[in-house]
Amino acid sequence: MSPPLQAQPLPPGSTIGIVGGGQLGRMAALAAARLGYLVHIFSPEANGPAAQVSAAATVADYTDQAAMEAFASAVDVVTFEFENIPAESVRLMAEHAPVRPCWSVLEVAQDRLAEKSFFTSLGIATAPFRAVGSLDELTRAVVEIGRPAVLKTARLGYDGKGQVKIGPDTNLAEAWAALGAGLEAAGAGVLEGFIDFEGEISVIVARGVDGGWAAFNPVWNIHRDHILHTTTVPAPISAALGDQAMDIARRAAEALGVIGLLAVEMFVTRDGRMLVNEMAPRPHNSGHWTMDACVTDQFEQFIRAVCGLPLGSPERHSDAEMKNLIGDEVGQWLEILSDPSAKLHLYGKAEARPGRKMGHVNRTWPLGSRGI
């Protein structure tokens, strides 16, 4: 069956299907409501952050093809808020509604090997890497790349999960065993050379159905325990590096044929080079600052793109810092609200667990006042 074609922008009152029920889906659903759309969530979790603010929700596993088919038949366009969805399920949904970005984008973004090979094919630098499928292959790869390095599962890893550092004295057999279950689930591993970087930046670019694009300013990201801690804009980089980062994101989005958002994370090395780390074809944690500092935030831009609307302006009207609230930090909510300059965004999660993103707070300053 050929997928239905959407020749015109979706009118208000149409239903957007979002696969995934977390905070990104929640904030996308709120942006959709402002534009007059209904949202239908598909997630294994009942009453998750996104379902709490949406018109409808299907609770089923991502491998439940009958549920996926019924879901896609009930909406006007399908998109997703995270990558770890079986590509076969997305292909099935595409037979019943437009899927944006398309399933082929997911296939690249959810696999670290495919992702790095994609950037390499565009002539865009990444950290050195090797595919590893066994302890013997890991041993050879460590000889080729050297130590320190990082062993990662090819799939299903995020926020530091699914990876182990290979140091000068690391026992490779123990490192391989430590990722055993993850490597088996992912089907493969990847060894990446360790980068001595000055910092990490990211760029989020939107691309519409007409091929037009708009990018948000590059931002500076600080992590704690492998989880994003703060994002600051403007990033303390040169204008030339900023332009290069935005060009990399644009080229990647165009090569993939993205309709929606693409976030690209990059390392800035101490000698001034830029290396791509990873990408995500969806709204991104490092774009939450846009909710209070831009004409059009990343979530509205996401909805505009997948619904075939004209893209909004990503122009920044303020300098900004976003801070994630992790685990028990959400208990600071009243203190944060006591600061009239702080903008609090909570995700509706009932339980604050260690390492769990519970919300974020944005703070803004007059444009240009923070310097670089």
pLDDT value of residue 177: 87
pLDDT on residue 25:
98
Would you state the pLDDT for residue 207?
Answer: 98
pLDDT tens by residue, 93-105: 999 999 999 989 9
Distances (CA, A) of 195 to 133, 148, 162, 271: 23, 9, 18, 11
What mean pLDDT is predicted for residues 84-90?
Answer: 87
Output the pTM of the full model: 0.93
Q: Which tens digits make up the pLDDT trace of 27-41?
A: 999 999 999 999 999
Instruction: Give the CB-side neighbour count of residue 65, counting CA atoms within 13 A.
Output: 8
Stretch 231-249: mean pLDDT, rounded? 97
Coil, strand or helix: which one is 97? Answer: coil
Which residues does 65 contact at the CB level (< 8 Å), separation at least 6? 89, 92
| 283, 81 contact by CB (below 8 A) | yes
- The gap between the terminal CA atoms of the chain, to the nearest Å, is 53
pLDDT digits (tens, 9 = 90+) for 1-23: 444 445 589 999 999 999 999 99
Sign of CA dihedral 8, 14, 18, 22: positive
| pLDDT tens-digit readout, 257-269 | 999 999 999 999 9
Which pLDDT belongs to residue 372? 61
Give the tens place of pLDDT for each residue, 216-232: 999 999 999 889 999 99
Give the CA-trace dihedral at 63, 65, 67, 71, to 10 degrees: 110
pLDDT at 150 (0 to 100):
92
Nearest to 202 by CA among 287, 145, 320: 287
Confidence check: pLDDT of 159 > 80: no
> Which residues does residue 262 pair with via DSSP β-bridges, in sequence order?
205
pLDDT of residue 1: 43
pLDDT at 158: 59
Contacts of 340 by beta carbon, 8 Å cutoff, 6+ apart: none
Are 279 and 263 in contact by the 8 Å Cβ rule? The answer is yes
Domains and CATH numbers, the chain: 15-99 (3.40.50.20), 128-193 (3.30.1490.20), 197-366 (3.30.470.20)
Q: What is the pLDDT of residues 338-348, one digit of tens each?
A: 999 999 999 99
pLDDT at 370: 84
The per-residue pLDDT for 267 is 96
What does the block give as tokens for 6? 């959407």
Residue type present at position 94: A
Report helix, strand or coil for 357. Answer: strand
CA distance 71 to 104: 20
pLDDT value, residue 178 = 84
Confidence of residue 155 (pLDDT cuts 50, 70, 90): confident
Would you say 226 and 323 are in contact if contact means Cβ atoms under 8 Å apart? no
Return the residue matching tokens 């006042």. Answer: 369
Average pLDDT over residues 209-213: 96
- Averaged pLDDT score across all residues of the chain: 93
3-state secondary structure of 351: coil
Q: Which residues lie closer than 8 Å to 69 by C-beta, 6 or more apart? A: 92, 93, 95, 96
Which residue did the predictor score with more confidence, 360 or 188? 360
pLDDT-based confidence at residue 115 (cuts at 50, 70, 90): very high
Backbone phi and psi for residue 92, each to the nearest 5 degrees, phi listed first: -65, -45
Phi, psi of 20 (to 5 degrees): 115, 140
131 three-state secondary structure: strand
